[in-house]
Chain A
Amino acid sequence: MSKPVVKLLLTLSLLCIIPSFLFALTGDEVIQKMDEMATFETSVSTGSIKTTDRFGTKISTFKAWARGASDSLIEFTSTAERGQKILRTQSSLYLFYPDAEELIRLQGAALRQSVLGSDLSYEDMTEEKNTLDSYTVVLEGSEIVNGHDCHVLTLTAKKRTVAYPVQKIWVDKQTYLVWKAEYSTAQKRLLKVMEVISTVEVAGRTLPSETKIEDKMKRDSATWMTLDSLEVNVPLAANLFSLENLTW
């Protein structure tokens, strides 16, 4: 092969390789995209939480409202807990019970308490979508999960106030949906496993419609959270996420 031909081939090869380096996403960028895809200006959804444990199966239904990355309000509509509400604002989480004359504020370890005996914690139900504020991210590589090519990322907590000190998540390279997550202690003890069972397309984004969560601290227990309806970017009352509104 002549020298000019070799030079040409080398140049072409470099031109092919360089863009993949130039355009490869960092871990932080993946997380940023992931949060963006999961966050809407506003949303209204209805759904159910099905929990199975040693005592049988229990189903609770809810209606939820969300605004941006931080504010969310969940109201339970099933008979056993009708009227109970969970309000998450940027700094706090409040519980409203119809027969209680005061709101109960949850903070710290209490956020890890189970919601209605399920495998979900209050933190899980209402988590903020500002992951990078709380975690440092390391992109570990790629893996196929349920036939989807995913980034594998390890998130380590920056502050002690988060529910899970370490998270390992599998984020879809195409849709930025988290297909699977493992939540652990700082000592790598597995606390919970989450996996998406089915998805739904909303406003051009892929979102989980059914998610299975298993609390590894409980034996024979699993929870399925299902979204029955989801509307996004709908107008919501300005005071919907206020304490005053919580008691109506």
Chain B
Amino acid sequence: MTIKLPAVAFRNIFRNFRRSMLSAIAIAVSAMAIMALLALLEAMESDMATNLVSYYTGEVRIRHESFEQYERYNPLHLSLDMDEVLPLVEKQEGVRAATERINFPANLYLNGKNNAALGVGVDFASEEAFIDFPSLVKEGRLPTEGSNEMLIGALLARDLHLNLGDKVTVLTSTALRGSNAMTFQIVGIASFPVGGLNAKVLYVPLDRAQYLLRMEGQVQEILLLTEDGYKERDVAASVKELLQTELSLQTETKAWKDLNAMYSLLSIAKFIYYVMGAIFFLLGSTVIINTTMMVIYERMREIGTLGALGMQGKELTRLFLLEGSFISIIGSTLGTIAGLIIVFILSKVGLNFTEAMSGVDMEISSILYPQVNFFIALFVWVYAIIIASLSTLIPSRRASKIQIVEALRYV
């Protein structure tokens, strides 16, 4: 029997258009949801990567080799000599920029109470390549080197009722395992994209942090950015070796991806979301399975006639499979387009998680801007078609097993 199966299958879609559309919409909703989900996840991943590199670890972080082991004791004495280390690593091949920082637990003494915060001593000049401080300053200006001045996170300032020009005494433990306190004037209030920074962090000039913490000439960590074309892990390995050979200095020099467990977790989460996506499609596909089954039972008479006219079981399977595939193509195309439109709109207006993220200590910005990614769109489109089409295989095979005599009873 010669029959153009694709044409028949396509025509069959319109025989019960409403039911076909219901199946297509189910696929479209699944495709749209997974498209938006993956775009959001991509946005989270890239945002987290930017924040980690800028605010936390650089692309490569150098610390004293024992610092991590004793990190919970705040071992500021396990430091690096900045005059020795910095000039050396700056010249290393593959290093684009370097900066030095000291992170320290700071108690802000206000109205007889200590308020916990995180102090960071930074060299605002060399930080330019890492943190765009001027664009973050909401009020005031950046602290100047040599002055007891601080830049404070907007939420921290709000929570402690602090304003520009106020003076705050910062109490902390020193590298000599004593305590010290110093009064700083707030000269800038900054709005950081990461909620945790906004609510906890204050930045002071590096030289004043060194004085406060009794760390003259010492820093807690040196952060590096790499040149394009260089892998962070390779640069980390070469810098570690350089410091060992030139200064006999054992350090913990690592690429940022090896330092951030959260980032690794996000990569695992991404895989989980792909699995969840597949489940979404399978759920959407149940509508197709149901529809195809209904169609098969409804068209018993037709199947019997086609069989009596000589159509083989395999051709019957292919007919219903093609019908399901056409519905999947329509559904996934509609869903992917809708997903792209949603992501495009979100890329302009952003997704505001400020309230949801308040109190959550995660290096992800409070407002996320998912980006339109055509690779993801193509992936979702193909993925949706394959899974939805495969799901029609089960009822389609059922059609091929129907006995002609039995089917003809419906005539």
Query: A interface vs B, CB < 8 Å?
Result: 51, 53-55, 58, 60, 80-81, 84, 95, 97, 99-102, 104-105, 107, 110, 116-117
| Chain B contacts with A in 96-146, Cβ cutoff 8 A | 109, 112, 114
- Note all chain B residues with C-beta closer than 8 A to A95: 179, 181
Q: How far is the CA of A95 from the CA of B114 in the complex (A)?
A: 13
**Interface segment, B170-178, B244-252, B290-298, B384-392?**
B170-178
Q: How far is the CA of A224 from the CA of B211 in the complex (A)?
A: 28
| A99 contact from B77, B109, B176, B181, Cβ within 8 A | B181
| A-B contact list, 30 entries, CB within 8 Å | A53-B177, A54-B73, A55-B177, A80-B214, A81-B176, A81-B178, A81-B179, A81-B180, A84-B179, A97-B171, A97-B180, A99-B148, A99-B180, A99-B181, A99-B183, A99-B211, A99-B212, A100-B169, A100-B171, A100-B183, A101-B167, A101-B169, A102-B109, A104-B181, A105-B112, A110-B114, A116-B178, A116-B179, A117-B177, A117-B179
Q: Does B324 contact A (CB under 8 A)?
A: no
Q: How far is the CA of A135 from the CA of B109 in the complex (A)?
A: 31
Q: Does B376 contact A (CB under 8 A)?
A: no
Q: How far is the CA of A3 from the CA of B380 in the complex (A)?
A: 118
- Note all chain A residues with C-beta closer than 8 A to B179: 81, 84, 95, 116-117
Once A105-B112, A110-B114 are accepted as A-B contacts, the answer to whether A117 and B173 lie under 8 Å apart by CB is yes
Is chain B's binding surface mostly helix, strand, loop or mixed?
A: mixed
| Closest residue of A by beta carbon distance from B107 | A104
Q: B109–A104 contact, CB under 8 A? A: yes
Query: B interface vs A, CB < 8 Å?
Result: 70, 73, 75, 77, 109, 112, 114, 148, 167, 169, 171, 173-174, 176-183, 211-212, 214
- Shortest beta-carbon distance from A83 to chain B in Å: 10
| Closest residue of B by beta carbon distance from A76 | B178
| Closest residue of B by beta carbon distance from A81 | B178
- Shortest beta-carbon distance from B70 to chain A in Å: 8
- Shortest beta-carbon distance from A213 to chain B in Å: 16
Q: How far is the CA of A80 from the CA of B76 in the complex (A)?
A: 14
Q: A117–B178 contact, CB under 8 A? A: yes
- Note all chain A residues with C-beta closer than 8 A to B148: 99
Q: B75–A55 contact, CB under 8 A? A: yes
| Closest residue of B by beta carbon distance from A51 | B177
Q: B178–A80 contact, CB under 8 A? A: yes
- Note all chain A residues with C-beta closer than 8 A to B214: 80
- Shortest beta-carbon distance from A86 to chain B in Å: 11
In the A-B complex, the 10 residue pairs with the smallest Cβ-Cβ separation, listed nearest first, are A117-B177, A97-B181, A101-B183, A100-B181, A80-B176, A99-B182, A116-B178, A81-B178, A100-B169, A100-B183
- Shortest beta-carbon distance from B202 to chain A in Å: 16
| Closest residue of B by beta carbon distance from A117 | B177
Q: How far is the CA of A102 from the CA of B181 in the complex (A)?
A: 9
| Closest residue of A by beta carbon distance from B180 | A97
- Note all chain B residues with C-beta closer than 8 A to A84: 178-180
Q: A102–B177 contact, CB under 8 A? A: no
Q: How far is the CA of A235 from the CA of B176 in the complex (A)?
A: 35
Supply 7 further A-B pairs (C-beta < 8 A) apart from A97-B181, A107-B112. Answer: A51-B177, A55-B70, A58-B176, A81-B176, A99-B148, A116-B178, A117-B177
- Note all chain B residues with C-beta closer than 8 A to A53: 177
Q: How far is the CA of A53 from the CA of B177 in the complex (A)?
A: 11
- Note all chain A residues with C-beta closer than 8 A to B180: 81, 84, 97, 99
Q: A104–B169 contact, CB under 8 A? A: yes
Once A55-B77, A110-B114 are accepted as A-B contacts, the answer to whether A102 and B169 lie under 8 Å apart by CB is yes
- Note all chain A residues with C-beta closer than 8 A to B211: 99
Q: How far is the CA of A105 from the CA of B148 in the complex (A)?
A: 22
| A102 contact from B73, B77, B114, B183, Cβ within 8 A | B183
Q: How far is the CA of A102 from the CA of B185 in the complex (A)?
A: 13
- Shortest beta-carbon distance from A51 to chain B in Å: 8
Q: How far is the CA of A155 from the CA of B211 in the complex (A)?
A: 44
Q: A116–B169 contact, CB under 8 A? A: no
- Note all chain A residues with C-beta closer than 8 A to B70: 54-55
Q: How far is the CA of A107 from the CA of B214 in the complex (A)?
A: 26
Q: How far is the CA of A55 from the CA of B76 in the complex (A)?
A: 11
Q: A104–B178 contact, CB under 8 A? A: no
Q: How far is the CA of A135 from the CA of B345 in the complex (A)?
A: 70
| Closest residue of A by beta carbon distance from B169 | A100
- Name the residue in A54, A58, A80, A100 with the highest tally of chain B Cβ atoms < 10 Å from its Cβ: A100
- Note all chain A residues with C-beta closer than 8 A to B181: 95, 97, 99-100, 104
Q: How far is the CA of A104 from the CA of B182 in the complex (A)?
A: 11
Q: How far is the CA of A95 from the CA of B212 in the complex (A)?
A: 16
- Note all chain A residues with C-beta closer than 8 A to B176: 58, 80-81
- Note all chain B residues with C-beta closer than 8 A to A80: 174, 176, 178, 214
Q: How far is the CA of A149 from the CA of B181 in the complex (A)?
A: 45
- Shortest beta-carbon distance from A66 to chain B in Å: 22
Q: How far is the CA of A105 from the CA of B70 in the complex (A)?
A: 30
| B182 contact from A58, A81, A97, Cβ within 8 A | A97
